């Protein structure tokens, strides 16, 4: 069972990789068209114009544009294809990418479940399993978002990239054999705590994708044409990305809060104190405070939306620090990493 | 965001008299302190200030590592210590940040609380003159309804509605601000819970060897280390005694621990002795103290028969060295042996000690430096014998787990041989005295704790969560209905019926306006549905048809399910506007 799980992980990585390439093909074909046809820049200008109108003067919060549909992308795709084969192929590649992502997520789920069966417990006993679960939540939530908002499809390039990197890293650096839980982890609070942490981390992970996309697209809509911004040419409108970023974070934050509280309850039972400033606890506190800062920043009209979004990204970096940095660099009671 | 707008204009904005400069400064500082910007900055400072607490060893978490840091960085460590870097979370600067933050927080919620209570009691405000200026607007013709009926329908949908003549004002979503205030107030309660625990709580760590002779009673002196809150009197510790009667640990072949369980006899004042067992994750909860199992190990029983034939037994715990197989190290000291029966005098130069390792599962062959398994499959001690002056009389408190190396260095304590002993084996030393390894007793390390703040912590964490959900997912919004009975005298000439149809007799013209007061993209949808219900197009609770709702451009429009991003939906949270775009791309 455990070997099966390992194989499934490898297949899932491959599938994500293929999905990523497929997304990239869509990008490339779309761009090729833009280069090939002189009319395209004009269309883009329309798009940029809408964006600019949406954003108002450069300093105004983008919020005022919330109500506008993602016009540029819609226009680009809805344009009469008139013999434009490469754009068609691009769309096809994009659609294929989504289906392959779904397949990859299914493999990913199967890998996680078989791992759990092999261990005869929830598959959250060590860092490898944790990363497996968190990234699955991210992928599944992505598909759910995509189901409701197909126009976000192009973000899939970033998402699959994240998946490939995370899973490959997990397989190469974090892999451990299946073992039962240590006594410290044998508690139902463990299930409550780790499942909610995984879930919220997965959503936060997914939240990074529109956050980064927003920052790029926002720059693009404001007329930046240098390297990372040009990538955003064919992304959905900035306002929508920003809102999705907020929605995901607002959804994950209470779950994360609950997870931290559950962790404190568990720590009280296991170690006699709800909070002891162990490195992991310290970083959970830091993440929590940074995300609270993001919610505050977004609710403060004088703070620009891209500043707020940077805070969200910073929040995720602190989550990563907690997952990898603390497990590798510090020793604490959460001797959970299982990497030696 | 609207919450911010909601706040009353600063009363001191236009002072009539010349303000006292000191007062003005104070007031300005206070306003600065309680601004969102300051809260944001303080939150960041708090996050940044916590980082050294995870990078540097902390006394509260791991005092040994702090000592090690002092050894490794003799120059840097004292300087870091001076600025509290080893006690970050109790340091002046960390406390300053969170106290400022909480002051800001109180300064922030008190006025908002007042404002919110007022808003809760106030009636929804009267309709603005021009409803068509609102983000949502619709005009219905030929609807057989009146203001009271509209209000009744709104109330049924849990709007707070107020009828003023032919107008209905309604508001919903007070939960957002309620939740927000509950959340922020709970934060204060959490802090109070922490404070309560540190003032009135206490805890101590204890190593407890099995057997009645090693029973532990809860007094300050019995603890190797203990920390009592400033309001706790050491005489006031609750009286109880514990005797470890049994300890069981099971391990996988990989040496990973599988389960632990300690069984103790508990004596409490005024109660019969009872047996209780506890384990990791399952503490022993006495009335006013909880007992947590932290670790375990072995205490070898070593029997020493001195050169005069008198026997003493040591049962000192050997501390685990941190490896998974429970290799342990320690010392058995016999300071009172070799007393000459003729003179009755103790010779300080003839004290004996054995220092070395205990291996629960010794390897079959040398080197005997590491245990192979954590349970006792082949228990053995590997000891070095010393004779001489142990240095225990000098009054310098030494560790019971280590020999005084100064005595060894000065030659007052001499090494006289080493040996590995299995259970039952005897070792005859050069002077004819004998050491026998009799066996072991298990020991456990426990933490005994009392935290009176934990209930408050738990309760306030719960309300914090509830408040947070309300704050994040509540959406405050208002609608107004202006019902004009059919006739030529329209109250709002500006908002003429765009359809231009002449109302039939007995029906009314209804003008509707809606205003989301917080970020709420799904409002267009809700508004359309509300309008449809009032216009009678659908049965109450059904979906909107093409009910004449003229949402503004880009608002998603009626009927279209405006961007139901799933997580938002799950959370009931902010949906995405521009829903139609969602399907546009799929249509090529
Ligand atoms: C102890 C530190 C604080 C934490 C952890 C914290 C956390 C939060 C969180 C998570 C939210 C999001 C909930 C929501 O959107 O309604 C929020 C909202 C809010 N907080 Fe705080 N807060 C803190 C201190 C403060 C302070 C000092 C102020 C006053 C200056 C403040 C004012 C607000 C306001 C006005 C909102 C509502 C924003 C909105 O309309 O969405 N908070 N806070």
Give the model confidence (pLDDT) of A138-187 as tens digits. 999 999 999 888 888 888 888 999 899 989 988 887 887 777 666 667 77
Same-domain check for residues A317 and A204: yes
- Report how far ligand 1's centroid is from the alpha carbon of B115 (Å): 16
> Among the listed ranges B192-196, B203-207, B531-535, which one has the minimum average pLDDT value?
B531-535
- Nearest residue by C-alpha to atom 16 in ligand 1: B471
Phi, psi of B480 (to 5 degrees): -130, 140
Q: Are A206 and A248 in contact (CB under 8 A)?
A: yes
Higher pLDDT, A137 or B502: A137
- From A164, A181, A198, give the residue that closes a domain: A181
C-alpha B142/C-alpha B131 separation (Å) is 19
Option in A81, A148, A275 nearest B563 (CB): A148
Q: What secondary structure does DSSP assign to A18-71, as a single string? A: HHHHHHHHHHHHHHHHHHH-THHHHHHHHHHHHHHHHH-STTS-GGGGTTS--H
Same-domain check for residues A107 and A219: no
Average pLDDT over residues A311-323: 92
Same-domain check for residues A133 and A20: yes
C-alpha B62/C-alpha B142 separation (Å) is 77
- From A120, A151, A181, give the residue that closes a domain: A181
* pLDDT category of residue B522 using cuts at 50, 70 and 90: confident
- When the pLDDT of each residue in chain B is averaged and rounded to a whole number, the result is 81
Core vs surface per residue B186-225: b (16+ CB within 10 A) or e: bbebbbebbebbbebbbbbbbbbbbbeebbbebeeebbee
* pLDDT category of residue A56 using cuts at 50, 70 and 90: very low
Average pLDDT over residues B389-415: 77
Contacts for A224 with CB less than 8 Å, ≥ 6 apart: none
Would residue A163 count as lying in a domain? yes
Would residue A53 count as lying in a domain? no
Would residue A126 count as lying in a domain? yes
Is residue A293 reached through a cis peptide bond, with omega within 30 degrees of 0 on the bond before it?
no
Same-domain check for residues A100 and A133: yes
Number of domains in chain A: 2
Would residue A60 count as lying in a domain? no
Would residue A56 count as lying in a domain? no
C-alpha B450/C-alpha B465 separation (Å) is 25
> Any CB–CB contact under 8 A between A299 and chain B?
yes
Mapping DSSP to helix (H, G, I), strand (E, B) and coil, where does residue B418 land?
strand
- Report how far ligand 1's centroid is from the alpha carbon of B40 (Å): 9
* pLDDT category of residue A136 using cuts at 50, 70 and 90: very high
Burial class (CB in 10 A: 0-12, 13-18, 19+), B476: buried
Question: For residue B437, is pLDDT > 70?
Answer: yes
- Report how far ligand 1's centroid is from the alpha carbon of A306 (Å): 19
- Mutational test site, ligand 1, from A295, A301, A302, A308, max ligand atoms within 8 Å of CB: A295
- Mutational test site, ligand 1, from B30, B94, B100, B105, max ligand atoms within 8 Å of CB: B105
With an 8 Å Cβ cutoff, are B582 and A302 in contact? Answer: no
- From A181, A210, A236, give the residue that closes a domain: A181
Which positions 2-61 of A are in contact with B (Cβ < 8 Å)? none
Q: Is the interface score ipTM higher than 0.85?
A: no
Q: Are B143 and B505 in contact (CB under 8 A)?
A: no
> Among the listed ranges A259-263, B30-34, B138-142, which one has the minimum average pLDDT value?
B30-34
Same-domain check for residues A211 and A319: yes
Same-domain check for residues A243 and A335: yes
Higher pLDDT, A30 or A257: A257
Return the sign of the alpha-carbon dihedral for residues A190, A195, A201, A202.
positive
**pLDDT, tens digit, 9 for 90 and up, residues B249-291:** 998 888 888 889 999 999 988 788 899 999 888 899 987 889 9
Q: Is the minimum distance from the CB of B472 to ligand 1 under 6 angstroms?
A: yes
Would residue A165 count as lying in a domain? yes
- Report how far ligand 1's centroid is from the alpha carbon of B172 (Å): 21
Closest of B177, B176, B123 to residue B151, by C-alpha: B123
| CA distance between the termini of chain A | 24
Q: Are A4 and A114 in contact (CB under 8 A)?
A: yes
What residues make up the domain containing A1?
A: 1-31+80-181
Same-domain check for residues A120 and A237: no
Q: Is the minimum distance from the CB of B184 to ligand 1 under 6 angstroms?
A: yes
Option in B473, B565, B577 nearest A67 (CB): B577
- The sheet that has B257-268: what strands, in order across it? B216-217, B240-251, B257-268, B274-278
Closest of B330, B335, B344, B331 to residue B388, by C-alpha: B335
With an 8 Å Cβ cutoff, are A278 and B61 in contact? Answer: yes
The pLDDT, as a whole number, for residue A151 is 83
With an 8 Å Cβ cutoff, are A149 and B203 in contact? Answer: no
Q: Write the Ramachandran bin of B557: left for phi over 0, alpha for psi from -120 to 50, otherwise beta.
A: left
Mapping DSSP to helix (H, G, I), strand (E, B) and coil, where does residue B454 land?
helix
Would residue A154 count as lying in a domain? yes
**3-class SS string, B488-557:** CCCCCHHHCCCCCCCCCCCCEEEEEEEEECCCCCCHHHHHHHHHHHHHCCCCCCCCCCCCCECCCCCCCC
Q: Is the minimum distance from the CB of B92 to ligand 1 under 6 angstroms?
A: no
The pLDDT, as a whole number, for residue B588 is 26
Q: Is the minimum distance from the CB of B187 to ligand 1 under 6 angstroms?
A: yes
Q: Is the minimum distance from the CB of B36 to ligand 1 under 6 angstroms?
A: yes
Residue B187 CA: nearest ligand 1 atom is: 1
Same-domain check for residues A170 and A268: no
Same-domain check for residues A291 and A268: yes
Same-domain check for residues A196 and A156: no
Count of C-beta atoms within a 10 Å radius of residue A64: 13
Contacts of B579 in chain A (CB under 8 A): 69
Option in B568, B573, B580 nearest A69 (CB): B580
Q: What is the pTM of this model?
A: 0.78
Q: Say which residue the tokens 């805890």 belong to.
A: B203
> Any CB–CB contact under 8 A between A318 and chain B?
yes
Calculate ∠ Cα B64-B67-B70, nearest 5°. 155
Question: Looking at CA atoms only, how far is residue B188 from chain A in angstroms?
Answer: 15
Q: Is the minimum distance from the CB of A300 to ligand 1 under 6 angstroms?
A: no
Q: Say which residue the tokens 């460590």 belong to.
A: B77
Q: Is the minimum distance from the CB of A303 to ligand 1 under 6 angstroms?
A: no
The pLDDT, as a whole number, for residue B393 is 65
Same-domain check for residues A243 and A286: yes
Would residue A75 count as lying in a domain? no
Same-domain check for residues A176 and A190: no
Task: State which residue of chain B sits closest to A274, comparing Cα positions.
Answer: B454
- The sheet that has B508-516: what strands, in order across it? B136-143, B508-516, B477-485, B167-172, B160-164
**pLDDT, tens digit, 9 for 90 and up, residues B8-29:** 444 444 445 677 888 888 888 8
Angstrom distances, CA of residue B220 to CA of A38, B70, B233, B273: 85, 28, 10, 22
């Amino acid at each position: 069972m455990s070997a099966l799980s390992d194989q499934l992980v490898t297949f899932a990585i491959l599938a994500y990789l293929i999905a990523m390439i497929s997304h990239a093909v869509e990008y490339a074909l779309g761009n090729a068209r833009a280069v090939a046809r002189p009319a395209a820049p004009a269309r883009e200008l329309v798009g940029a114009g809408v964006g600019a109108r949406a954003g108002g003067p450069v300093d105004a919060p983008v919020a005022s544009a919330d109500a506008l549909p993602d016009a540029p992308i819609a226009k680009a795709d809805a344009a009469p294809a008139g013999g434009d084969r490469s754009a068609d192929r691009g769309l096809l590649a994009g659609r294929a990418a989504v289906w392959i992502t779904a397949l990859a997520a299914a493999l990913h789920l199967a890998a996680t479940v078989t791992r759990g069966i092999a261990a005869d417990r929830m598959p959250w006993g060590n860092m490898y399993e944790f990363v497996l679960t968190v990234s699955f939540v991210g992928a599944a939530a992505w598909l759910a978002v995509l189901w409701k908002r197909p126009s976000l499809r192009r973000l899939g390039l970033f998402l699959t990239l994240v998946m490939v990197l995370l899973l490959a890293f997990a397989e190469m650096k974090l892999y451990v054999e299946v073992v039962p839980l240590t006594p410290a982890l044998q508690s139902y609070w463990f299930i409550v705590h780790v499942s909610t942490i995984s879930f919220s981390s997965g959503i936060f992970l997914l939240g990074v994708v529109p956050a980064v996309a927003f920052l790029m697209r926002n720059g693009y809509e404001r007329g930046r044409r240098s390297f990372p911004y040009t990538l955003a040419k064919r992304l959905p409108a900035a306002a929508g990305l920003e809102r999705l970023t907020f929605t995901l974070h607002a959804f994950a934050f209470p779950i994360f809060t609950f997870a931290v509280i559950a962790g404190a309850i568990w720590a009280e039972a296991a170690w006699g104190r709800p909070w002891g400033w162990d490195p992991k606890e310290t970083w959970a506190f830091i993440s929590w405070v940074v995300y609270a800062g993001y919610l505050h920043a977004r609710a403060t009209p004088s703070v620009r939306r891209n500043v707020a979004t940077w805070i969200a990204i910073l929040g995720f970096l602190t989550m990563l620090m907690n997952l990898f940095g603390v497990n590798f660099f510090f020793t604490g009671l959460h001797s959970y990493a299982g990497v030696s | 965001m609207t919450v911010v707008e909601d706040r009353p204009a600063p009363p001191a904005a236009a002072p009539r008299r010349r303000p006292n400069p000191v007062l003005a400064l104070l007031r300005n500082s206070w306003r600065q302190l309680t601004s969102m910007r300051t809260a944001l900055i303080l939150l960041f400072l708090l996050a940044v200030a916590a980082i050294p607490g995870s990078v540097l060893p902390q006394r509260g978490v791991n005092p040994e590592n702090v000592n090690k840091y002092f050894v490794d960085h003799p120059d840097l460590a004292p300087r870091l210590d001076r600025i509290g870097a080893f006690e970050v979370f109790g340091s002046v600067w960390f406390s300053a940040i969170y106290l400022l933050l909480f002051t800001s927080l109180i300064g922030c919620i008190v006025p908002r609380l007042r404002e919110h209570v007022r808003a809760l009691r106030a009636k929804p405000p009267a309709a603005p003159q021009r409803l068509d200026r609102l983000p949502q607007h619709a005009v219905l013709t030929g609807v057989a309804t009146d203001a009271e009926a509209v209000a009744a329908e709104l109330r049924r949908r849990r709007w707070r509605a107020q009828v003023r003549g032919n107008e209905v004002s309604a508001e919903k979503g007070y939960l957002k601000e309620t939740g927000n205030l509950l959340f922020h107030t709970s934060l204060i309660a959490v802090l109070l819970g922490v404070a309560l625990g540190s003032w009135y709580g206490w805890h101590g760590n204890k190593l407890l060897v099995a057997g009645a002779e090693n029973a532990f009673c809860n007094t300050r002196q019995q603890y190797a280390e203990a920390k009592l809150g400033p309001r706790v009197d050491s005489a006031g510790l609750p009286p109880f005694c514990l005797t470890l009667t049994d300890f069981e640990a099971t391990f996988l072949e990989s040496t990973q621990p599988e389960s632990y369980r300690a069984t103790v006899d508990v004596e409490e004042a005024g109660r019969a002795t009872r047996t209780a067992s506890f384990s990791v994750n399952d503490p022993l909860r006495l009335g006013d103290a909880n007992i947590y199992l932290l670790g375990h190990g072995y205490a070898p029983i070593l029997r020493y028969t001195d050169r005069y034939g008198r026997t003493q037994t040591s049962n000192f715990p050997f501390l685990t060295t941190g490896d998974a197989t429970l290799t342990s190290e320690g010392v058995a000291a016999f300071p009172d042996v070799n007393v000459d029966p003729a003179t009755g005098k103790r010779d300080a130069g003839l004290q004996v000690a054995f220092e070395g390792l205990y291996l629960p599962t010794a390897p079959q062959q040398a080197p005997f430096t590491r245990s192979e398994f954590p349970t006792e499959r082949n228990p053995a001690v590997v000891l070095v014998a010393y004779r001489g002056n142990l240095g225990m009389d000098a009054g310098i408190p030494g560790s019971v787990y280590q020999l005084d190396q100064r005595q060894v260095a000065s030659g007052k304590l001499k090494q006289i041989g080493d040996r590995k002993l299995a259970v039952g084996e005897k070792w005859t030393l050069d002077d004819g005295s004998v050491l026998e390894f009799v066996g072991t007793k298990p020991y456990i390390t426990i933490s005994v704790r009392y935290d009176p703040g934990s209930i408050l912590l738990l309760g306030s964490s719960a309300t914090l969560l509830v408040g947070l959900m309300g704050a994040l997912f509540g959406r405050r919004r208002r609608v107004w209905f202006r019902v004009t009975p059919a006739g030529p005298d329209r109250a709002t000439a500006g908002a003429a019926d765009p359809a231009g149809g002449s109302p039939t007799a007995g029906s009314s013209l209804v003008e509707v306006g809606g205003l989301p007061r917080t970020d709420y993209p799904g409002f267009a949808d809700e508004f359309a549905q509300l309008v449809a219900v009032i216009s009678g197009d659908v049965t109450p609770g059904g979906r909107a048809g093409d009910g004449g709702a003229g949402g503004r451009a880009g608002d998603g429009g009626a009927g279209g399910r405006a961007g139901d991003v799933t997580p938002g939906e799950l959370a009931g949270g902010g949906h995405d506007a521009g829903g139609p775009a969602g399907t546009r791309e799929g249509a090529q």
